[in-house]
Structure 1
Amino acid sequence: MTTHDSLDLVVLDMAGTTVADGGLVEQAFSVAAGLLGVEPGSPEHAGMLDHVRATMGESKISVFRHLFGDEDKARSANTAFEKAYGELVDDGRIAPVPGARETIEELTAAGRTVVLTTGFARTTQDAILRTLGWQDLAPLTLCPADAGGRGRPYPDMVLAAFLRTGAVAGVRQTVVAGDTAYDMLSGVRAGAGVVAGVLTGAHDKDRLARHGATHVIGSVAELPDLIARAEAAPAAGTARAEA
């Protein structure tokens, strides 16, 4: 039963947090950019790739809007990116982060509701879930389109998880975990009680902490213990970073 201090809604990012994709985002971006005439190895390509790395976690269509300006080009790039990424996923180029499935099952067994989120389109998210056999692992999965179209760093997906599951009485009873600065900003802006950065993905401890992480842990496998400690603390979720 949910209590005032229980952190019973856990919103988890996918790529880099629960899913290891071995740099497929950059590979798929290069395919998409090439189709729009950006030469691999050129200064233009390098600058765009730097932006992609800096904005890991953001909705991919938003990234392409920034890079190409023109809406039609952005949509063409996004379609090409999602197609390329999906093909790489179908080739078996992804795997769970070690301990991720077990962590989700442990959290669920403890009575917590787990929601998986992504900056990818629904078709790509479904391809990842299907490849991993995770279709039924979490009761709810969300992409930006499921939250009105705005992905991270907006709080919309976290708030959609809160509203759709009804798992907790207030947003402070929510845990958000991710590997990027945008994951941290999304959790902070949603008012989550714990915003946990993990070091298995795009950004390092300092960057995660600068963007609002209340805790930084080595991987998602450490999350159940972190949540238990946060619930036991006098002021669960107050800002501090743990290595």
Structure 2
Amino acid sequence: MTDKNTIAAPLNLIVLDMAGTTVADGGLVERAFERAAEHLGVEPGSADHAAKLQYVRDTMGESKISVFRDLFGTEDRARRANSAFERAYGELVDGGLIAPVPGAREAVEKLRADGRTVVLTTGFARVTQDAILDALGWRDLADLTLCPADAGGRGRPYPDMVLAAFLRTGAVADVRQVVVVGDTAYDMLSGVRSGAGIVAGVRTGAHGREALIDNGATHVLASVAELPALLAGSRRPAESA
């Protein structure tokens, strides 16, 4: 009988977050939010602006439309804010203010060369995700890309995108053969709730080691570049991060 704490081998489905995990966006989320907030009449420099910006920081990784629903109260205002945010982020991406996390592309290529299926996920809308992929030349880097709309509309911390990757790719037979990697508490919660065998946090994004562990990280890595080496020796019970 298999112990419930034992990872099911092989770990052949890798679900990677984008901004903060594989993509270094240089604070573009905050800059795009500031433009969106101003569009809705939030005065820059005001206490309301500072409080809303802090909430955006605290909820990095969550679906952006969900964040705006919490911040602006009504569905109409949330959608207006989200549209303004996506437009601003796309303009900033087009301006060249985005780059891969060092070693991220090589890590994905190594994972796929080892026979693993790689899925890139985001809390952004599809149009923004595609803009990032185009800016980096990453259209064909992964086996599949997913945004919340591709998983029924619910982003992190729900497990829906991880489970959509599991169902769409058919890469593994058991959710314990899934590896989820991200830089935020919401990424960790999504991975834990999906039943993934490894939920790895990386220290290249929004949240620190303590937040990642507190929200379920089984491992904490300096960056996604360390992931292939971790998985090369991962056929054992998950270790404490």
Classify the TM-score, shorter chain.
over 0.9
What code does the residue aligned with 1:158 have?
A: V
Q: Does 1:48 align with 2:33?
A: no
Residue among 5, 17, 21 paired with 2:9: 5
CA–CA distance in 2 between the matches of 1:38 and 1:229? Answer: 50
CA–CA distance in 2 between the matches of 1:12 and 1:201? Answer: 13
* Secondary structure of 1:230's aligned partner: coil
Residue among 100, 109, 124 paired with 2:128: 124
Residue 32 of structure 1 is matched in structure 2 by 36
What code does the residue aligned with 1:167 have?
A: A
Pairwise CA distance, 1:230: 1.7
Residue 186 of structure 2 is matched in structure 1 by 182
Q: Does 1:191 align with 2:198?
A: no
Q: TM-score, normalised by structure 2?
A: 0.96
Pairwise CA distance, 1:93: 0.4
Residue 160 of structure 2 is matched in structure 1 by 156
CA–CA distance in 2 between the matches of 1:4 and 1:51? Answer: 37
Superposed CA deviations along residues 18-52 of structure 1, whole A, max 9, x for unmatched, are 00000000000000000100011100000001110
How do residues 1-243 of structure 1 correspond to structure 2 at under 5 angstroms?
4-231=8-235, 233=236, 235=237, 237-238=238-239, 240-241=240-241
Q: Provide the aligned length of Structure 1 versus Structure 2.
A: 235
* Secondary structure of 1:63's aligned partner: helix
Pairwise CA distance, 1:228: 1.8
CA–CA distance in 2 between the matches of 1:13 and 1:153? Answer: 12
Pairwise CA distance, 1:226: 1.1
Uncovered stretches (5+) of structure 2, i.e. residues with no partner: 1-6
What code does the residue aligned with 1:60 have?
A: K
Uncovered stretches (5+) of structure 1, i.e. residues with no partner: none
CA–CA distance in 1 between the matches of 2:45 and 2:230? Answer: 42
CA–CA distance in 2 between the matches of 1:174 and 1:136? Answer: 21
